[in-house]
A and B are shown apart, each in its own frame.
Chain A
Amino acid sequence: MEPIPAPLVDLTSLAPVLVLSVFTMMVLLVDLFVGRNKSVLVFISLTGLLMAAISAFAKGAEIPVYSFNGAYVVDRLSIFFTMIFCLSSALAILLSVEYNKREGIRVGEYYSLILFCTVGMIVLASSTDLIMIFIGIEIVSICLYVLAGIRRGDLRSNEASLKYFLLGAFATGFLLYGMTLLYGTTGSVKLLTIAERLNSGEVFTNPLMLMGVVLLVIGFGFKVASVPFHMWAPDVYQGAPTPVTAFMAVGPKAAAFAAFFRVFAEGIPELAPSWETTLSIVAVLSMFIGNLGAIMQTNIKRLLAFSSVSHVGYILIAVIAKNTLGSASLLFYMLSYAFMIFGIFGIVILLGREGNENLELENYSGLGFKHPMLAFCMTLFMLSLGGLPPLAGFVAKFYIFQAALKEGFLWLVIIAVLNSAISFYYYLKVIVFMYMKEPIGEFKISLTPITLFVVAIGVLGTLELGIFPGPVIFLAQY
């Protein structure tokens, strides 16, 4: 047991967290005075996210910087992830503005919950300490439980929230137990120390430690919705308000992956022989079950839920590769995924109207020639998710495959590309509905400007990362 020294307090490392927390509380306070018009809250939230994103660079070029006794780090991974979180939260807030008005969601806490969640995500992505990671995960999860059920009058939303809460709480238990075992066997909660001790042969692999690793896989598996811990995803995705679904699909998942990567690739790479196979199986199953499950779906949100399970499979390959290329590809993948997902959900929101969200694939019939621009954007996103060049999804997959092949995981990459081929089937199905079927009813689409703006950002991001990925790759890799 090491003595517990007083931690070095380094507030500049914490700058984004602090800034965002201040703004979150401001949102909570201002909400008391503004009445029914919440647009000022949106403005404060967006400013907060912007400030947080800027303050992420407070450390300047001297990264990586460890602070708080090695529990917290500012490095390439955490800064890039902070950018992704701020972007995705901002997009989620923008998506909510018109949606909430339409669906009658009039609670000010909504925005502060998203911001608090973002705080948790930043903590999660910057922690190099098991306890900090746990705190981050809890902040994120608790906000999400509430957000999923924010439509109090809607049974589906309630169901989503409750399901997510029960399963999530269960998973947290597993995670905590795994962390305990890891701490018990290595004698430290700091990832760096754990890695050092494992590396130097100070501690030896023993069954308890391996059990801890397995429990960590289960815990993280729940958080990122990988098979066989994905059961909650379709129901929660379907039941949660659409902007929250989009938010959940990107931000918290990216954060969980950041911690996943840190724990496995930076903390316990020495134990790789024991978790590599487990994670590979999880990845392969996620890809297959996600893709095959998506084929059956007729509801666009459920389809996207299964598709996201399959994407988790691809991203896990980056964790398994556990090299610099792996972390860079993880960053790139999450960023491009953010653009695609928010774009898609923007279109999903546009297609709905008061009292009827039009979430069945049938509702997309004939969209292609009635609203060509909208359908074109949707086509772009679908093809990008499938991994068709020259779109973001392709470059992201190329990146991950590169990382995996470099470590010699040829079979994993082959399974992944075959899965890409399977996934085209259902992504094309959406396109089939839009272009090749006759419309089943009138489209009453009101092209609300803010949601359209989000879609436009999605399109621009998808194209930019697909056609000129150079600068972003540079940021992610070097």
Chain B
Amino acid sequence: MFLTFVTFLPLIGAALLAFVPDEKTETIKQAALGIAVADFLLSLVFYQEFDMHSHKMQFEFMVPWIEAWGINYHVGLDGISLLLYILTTFLTAVSILASWEVKKHTKYYMISMLALSTGMLGVFIALDFFMFYVFWEFQLVPMYIIIGVWGGPRRLYAAVKFFIYTAVGSLLMLVGIIWMYLELHQQTGTYSTDILFMTDNLKMALEVQIWLFLAFFLAFAIKVPMFPFHTWLPDAHVEAPTAGSIILAGVLLKMGTYGFLRFNLPLFPAASYSLFPYVCWLAVIGIVYGALVAMVQEDLKKLVAYSSVSHLGFVMLGIFAFNHQGLSGALLQNINHGISTSALFLMVGMIYDRRHTRLIKEFGGLSKIIPVFAIYFMIVTLSSIGLPGMNGFIGEFLVLIGMFQTDVVFAMIGTSGVIFAACYMLWMFQRVMFLEVTNPENEKLEDMNLREKILMVPMVILIFWIGLYPAPFTKTFDASIEHLVSHVNKHSGIKHEEEGGAHHAAVKGKATVAQLLTTGTSETTVLVKE
């Protein structure tokens, strides 16, 4: 019940804000910030109360919703969703504070932000497919409005593109959901859209799993975004206001990776195994392609956007490593990317507020003029590259360790992404911060003000905290990942003997799939899951 309250608190706040007169912008901003911060603090209670040793859903709450169809309102948190949930409340508060200078229709902006927050939180707690889908689509609307109303010059194009892209992907997922719903009824005689129930009871042949995997894959791959479904992302990022970019990079993309962890792996383990090389190819192409394209960008925001494509490639690689290290790396990298990239967008936003341009060539030598900004920017840049001692390093390291055990080729190509990241980030940093001040307009720039410092301090603390002592973070999802890995291994149709045999399992997995594909239908009818 408390989980429901925390989730819907922003929406309630948004509804109340609607009654405040438009002109009282200060009150509105303060109220919105107050709600967001309160929501963040309340969400910390879940961390406090969370049983780290259990992979089970916690804070569960279930009431019948549409009884005729067996649909329940069912929510809960486990290790996979807990940190993402807290990250969402945190970034909502950050983005509202970052939008203090929004002058146009402030009230509606704040309402959209708060509504968006509830939509995103709902995605992470939903344990019923119907509900999940409701939240998954619901959050599109406020984000669409935020990009479309408060965005840059090409905002209409970007907003509609964002909406349609995501809608196409998720509608096919909807077909998959309904199909599984009916299939479940065929098999068990119960109508249910409960995710946990379905994961435990639905048995599907490999061929079926592959089709469903693809339907879900499209929805999540567009959201992540994986190459070649990423083209909406740069447009959306460039046109979105700063806070929009923060939420997009920080949370919305994570909904895609979360989808893989919550649905694709547990529901279609055999298909995940068999399609793993293709997914990994897309992931490594994304890593390298994103990095190379980032390198040649002239717009700071576009550069960060493409770096996201590259970073999310790592997360995907970690997920499809199918072992403990890879998955914990992926989850941690989710959080890291949420922090580092949000911080980058935040700082790009600050500099944009001052100069109203984001073109790299307009800057140069800024470290002499705004030293405090330069220091923060340095920290964030390095964290994004993955310098040891900072958060990015831990995540990427774990992902690569995981992947090395599963498939060396992908791990090697993936590693090159780390080098590329250093190239484009440091080169960008050099061109913006160092060298001579060539543009006289830059000379009278003001350094960070108090509000901006308040925004950056928690980011920097988190960057170092995760970098130096990640245990408080990793321990939340250890049990869940352990369970997920064993579940996937157990149900993937591949028997393997000992613990820690993920490597063999995966290699065997590929072999089995090859056999399956060559020997044809007789083998594909082998049912997985018991």
Where the two chains meet, the residues of A that have a C-beta atom closer than 8 Å to any C-beta of B are 368-369, 372, 379, 383, 388-390, 394, 398, 401-402, 405-406, 410, 413-414, 417-418, 420-421, 424-425, 428, 431-432, 435-436, 468-470, 473-474, 477-478
Contacts and interface: CB of A to CB of B under 8 A. Distances in A.
Interface stretch (B165-173, B400-408, B433-441): B165-173
B69 interface: yes
A436 B179 contact: no
Contacts of A388: 137-138, 140-141
A369 B111 CA distance: 13
Given A389-B133, A390-B134, A436-B148, A405 B179 contact: yes
A425 B65 contact: no
A85 B141 CA distance: 32
B67 A470 contact: yes
Contacts of A428: 144, 160, 163
Interface string B140-181: 110011001100000110011001100110011011001101
A402 B138 contact: no
B178 A424 contact: no
19 contacts: A368-B108, A383-B141, A388-B141, A389-B133, A389-B138, A401-B174, A401-B175, A401-B178, A405-B182, A410-B179, A425-B160, A425-B164, A431-B148, A435-B145, A435-B148, A436-B155, A470-B66, A473-B68, A473-B69
B134 A389 contact: yes
Nearest to B71: A470
B354 interface: no
Contact of B168 (A379, A389, A390, A421): A421
Contacts of B495: none
B105 interface: yes
Contacts of B155: 436
A256 B386 CA distance: 65
The B interface, classified by DSSP as helix, strand, loop or mixed, is: helix
Contacts of A435: 145, 148-149
A375 to B, nearest CB: 10
B105 A432 contact: no
B156 A414 contact: no
Contacts of B181: 402
Contacts of A478: 68
Contacts of A369: 105, 108
Contact of A398 (B145, B160, B178): B178
Contacts of A418: 168, 171
A470 B174 contact: no
Interface of B: 18, 65-69, 105, 108, 130, 133-134, 137-138, 140-141, 144-145, 148-149, 155-156, 159-160, 163-164, 167-168, 171-172, 174-175, 178-179, 181-182
B167 A432 contact: no
Nearest to B148: A436
Nearest to A429: B160
B162 to A, nearest CB: 11
A67 B168 CA distance: 48
A417 B133 contact: no
A424 B108 contact: no
B105 to A, nearest CB: 6
A413 B175 contact: yes
Contacts of A420: 167, 171
A474 B138 contact: no
Contacts of A424: 163-164, 167
Given A383-B141, A428-B160, A470-B66, A417 B175 contact: yes
Nearest to B186: A406
A403 to B, nearest CB: 10
Nearest to A402: B178
A414 B178 CA distance: 11
Contacts of B66: 468-470, 473
A425 B140 CA distance: 14
Contacts of B145: 431, 435
Contacts of A390: 134, 138
Contacts of B164: 421, 424-425
A414 B175 contact: yes
A432 B174 CA distance: 26
B156 A410 contact: no
A369 B159 CA distance: 19
B156 A389 contact: no
Contacts of B108: 368-369, 372
A424 B169 CA distance: 13
Given A372-B108, A417-B172, A436-B149, A477 B138 contact: no
4 nearest A-B pairs in the assembled complex, by CB-CB distance: A417-B171, A389-B134, A473-B68, A421-B168
A383 B144 CA distance: 12
B12 to A, nearest CB: 15
A374 to B, nearest CB: 13
A414 B148 contact: no
A418 B171 CA distance: 7
Given A390-B138, A432-B160, A473-B69, 8 more contacts: A389-B137, A394-B137, A402-B178, A405-B178, A417-B172, A424-B167, A428-B160, A428-B163
Given A389-B137, A469-B66, A432 B156 contact: yes
B172 to A, nearest CB: 6
B180 to A, nearest CB: 10
A413 B140 CA distance: 22
A432 B133 contact: no
Nearest to B179: A405
Instruction: Give the most central of B65, B68, B155: most A CB within 10 Å.
Output: B68
Contacts of B18: 372
B429 to A, nearest CB: 35
A182 to B, nearest CB: 33
Nearest to A469: B66
Given A369-B108, A424-B163, A410 B175 contact: yes
A424 B164 CA distance: 7
Given A402-B181, A435-B149, A417 B69 contact: no
B68 A474 contact: yes
Contacts of B156: 432, 436
A353 B350 CA distance: 46
A405 B179 CA distance: 7
Contacts of B171: 417-418, 420-421
B427 to A, nearest CB: 36
A436 to B, nearest CB: 5
A406 B174 CA distance: 14
A336 B458 CA distance: 48
A396 B159 CA distance: 26
A477 B191 CA distance: 14
Contacts of B163: 424, 428
A473 B66 CA distance: 8
Contacts of A432: 148, 156, 159-160
Contacts of A474: 67-68
Contacts of A417: 171-172, 174-175
A425 B164 CA distance: 7
Most A-side CB within 10 Å, residue of B67, B138, B149, B178: B178
A215 B171 CA distance: 35
Contacts of A414: 172, 175
Nearest to B171: A417
A418 B218 CA distance: 13
Contacts of B160: 425, 428, 432
A354 B179 CA distance: 51
Contacts of A413: 175, 178
B68 A405 contact: no
A402 B179 CA distance: 8
Nearest to B177: A398
Interface centre among A379, A405, A436, A468 (most CB of B within 10 A): A436
Contacts of A372: 18, 108
Contacts of B175: 401, 405, 410, 413-414, 417
Contacts of A379: 141
A367 B275 CA distance: 49
Contacts of A394: 134, 137
A417 B173 CA distance: 10
